[in-house]
């Protein structure tokens, strides 16, 4: 059986998830990781990763590596993706694909020019509950979906305030709009917009209201009203204002309605899930996503979501930023 050789660039929160998942795949081998943090690299060595680099460019020179996972902060996606493409490495880039539309187009063009496959990491597409929603939309049991309501509420960069954990340092880039491309809308909204586009087709119109509870130069709350080519109207609510996590999609159809939730189980249930399967149900979408990426590369087929998907998400988000609704 052919084994795909993987490398990971960036070992932050998402990179650590990919590190653990890559070691569990039967048809892939994680051979190298790159990060500037010696602590992160030490953890990778405990997972028996053979090669560690503080400079990802050195890792990209390794002929053994077939593909890389880019899990860096958003402002580093453009440079690292172009470097990976020029090194002829297929890649999966964590969402959003870039800070803005122009950067996304550059990444897509670099992949095309170098004939490498590009996927954008959207684990919600591989979550069982949300896949079931798509099946119900298309099997007709809900009728025509008139209204969709999508909520994604979390702590965002303020997770260090949770009562059950010691204060956690927040990376400085989180608070610089020129590095992130925006606030809660691009961070959380990209997940929901990508999922809703998968359900209902392209967005034909979108408007937004942005909130600034914490008085920063980017939004910590956003409410969007979007119309899709299927004629479905969606209300998208995202925010970094709550210590109580919520990710929920409700579909209101002419025949029936349905709600899907993706939320962490209680700690005891999570521990049992990890002991029995090696991964919590909450993170199941991540390993299914990575397995899809690997399987597609081994079959020489295009993995999805594609770079173009990531571009369309950013185009919708940029339109939402421009089409703001004043509520004063």
Collapsed DSSP state (helix, strand, coil) of residue 5: strand
Confidence of residue 275 (pLDDT cuts 50, 70, 90): very low
CATH second-level architecture of 125-284+308-322? Answer: 2-Layer Sandwich (3.30)
Q: Is the pTM of this model over 0.85?
A: yes
Give pLDDT, residue 291.
98
**CATH 3.30.360.10 domain span(s) along the chain:** 125-284+308-322
CATH of 4-121 given 3.40.50.720, 3.40.50.150, 3.40.50.800, 3.40.50.10190: 3.40.50.720
Average pLDDT on 289-317 reads: 98
Q: What are phi and psi of 253, to 5 degrees?
A: -110, 175
Q: What are phi and psi of 133, to 5 degrees?
A: -60, -45
pLDDT digits (tens, 9 = 90+) for 99-108: 999 999 999 9
Give the per-residue SS3 of 231-252.
CCEEEEEEECCCCCCEEEEEEE
**CATH 3.40.50.720 domain span(s) along the chain:** 4-121
Long-range contacts of 246-250 (CB under 8 A, 24+ apart): 246/151, 246/152, 246/153, 246/154, 247/124, 247/151, 247/152, 247/153, 247/154, 248/150, 248/151, 249/130, 249/133, 249/148, 249/149, 249/150, 249/151, 249/192, 249/195, 250/148, 250/149, 250/150
% of the chain surpassing 90 pLDDT: 82
pLDDT digits (tens, 9 = 90+) for 76-123: 999 999 999 999 999 999 999 999 999 999 999 999 999 999 999 999
Give pLDDT, residue 266.
58
pLDDT digits (tens, 9 = 90+) for 24-68: 999 999 999 999 999 999 999 999 999 999 999 999 999 999 999
Give pLDDT, residue 171.
81
pLDDT digits (tens, 9 = 90+) for 133-169: 999 999 999 999 999 999 999 988 876 544 555 666 7
pLDDT digits (tens, 9 = 90+) for 3-19: 999 999 999 999 999 99
């Amino acid at each position: 059986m052919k084994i795909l050789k993987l490398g990971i660039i960036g070992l932050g929160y998402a990179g650590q998830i990919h590190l653990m998942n890559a070691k569990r795949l039967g048809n892939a081998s994680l051979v190298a990781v790159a990060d500037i943090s010696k602590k992160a690299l030490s953890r990778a060595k405990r997972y028996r990763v053979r090669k560690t680099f503080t400079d990802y460019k050195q890792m990209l020179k390794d002929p053994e590596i077939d593909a890389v996972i880019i899990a860096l902060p958003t402002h580093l996606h453009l440079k690292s993706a172009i470097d990976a493409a020029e090194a002829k490495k297929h890649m999966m880039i964590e969402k959003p694909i870039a800070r803005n539309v122009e950067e996304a187009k550059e990444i897509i063009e670099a992949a095309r020019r170098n004939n490498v496959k590009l996927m954008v990491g959207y684990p919600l597409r591989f979550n069982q509950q949300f896949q079931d929603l798509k099946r119900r939309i298309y099997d007709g049991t809900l009728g025509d979906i008139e209204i969709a309501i999508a909520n994604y509420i979390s702590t965002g960069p303020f997770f260090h305030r949770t009562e059950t954990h010691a204060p956690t340092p927040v990376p400085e880039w989180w608070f610089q709009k020129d590095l992130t491309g925006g606030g809660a809308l691009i961070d959380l909204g990209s997940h929901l917009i990508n999922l809703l586009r998968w359900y209902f087709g392209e967005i034909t119109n979108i408007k937004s209201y942005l909130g600034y509870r914490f008085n920063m130069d980017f939004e910590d709350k956003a409410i969007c009203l979007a119309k899709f080519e299927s004629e479905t109207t969606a209300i998208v609510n995202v925010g970094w204002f709550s210590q109580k996590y919520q990710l929920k999609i409700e579909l209101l159809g002419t025949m029936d309605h349905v709600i899907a939730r993706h939320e962490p189980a209680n700690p005891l249930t999570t521990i049992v899930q990890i002991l029995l399967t090696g991964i919590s149900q909450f993170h199941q979408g991540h390993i299914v996503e990575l397995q899809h990426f690997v399987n597609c590369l081994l079959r020489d087929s295009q993995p999805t979501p594609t770079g173009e998907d990531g571009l369309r998400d950013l185009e919708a988000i940029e339109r939402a930023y421009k089409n703001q609704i004043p509520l004063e």
